Amino acid sequence: MYQSDITQFLNQMKQQKPGLEAEQRRGRSLLWDKQPIDLDERAKQQSSRVEQTPYVYYQNF
């Protein structure tokens, strides 16, 4: 059965580094997988926000 060069390379790399897929999944979970949003906490944070003035460098004292 035909396998492309890339498929052969990936299979060879997986044989050399058996823990590679686990490392990739762990890295993905750090960057992309997010915890569910607590809607009550989010509403509390948004309601306690202080409005920013339109031009932050000028303060009308």
DSSP characters over 27-44: HHHHHT--PPP-HHHHHH
| DSSP 8-state assignment for residue 13 | H
Give pLDDT, residue 34: 84
pTM: 0.47
Give pLDDT, residue 11: 95
Give pLDDT, residue 58: 72
Each domain of the chain, given as residue ranges in start order, spans 5-48
23, containing H or E segment: helix 20-31
Helix axes 20-31, 5-16, angle to 10 degrees: 90
Give pLDDT, residue 57: 78
For the chain, residues with pLDDT lower than 50 are none
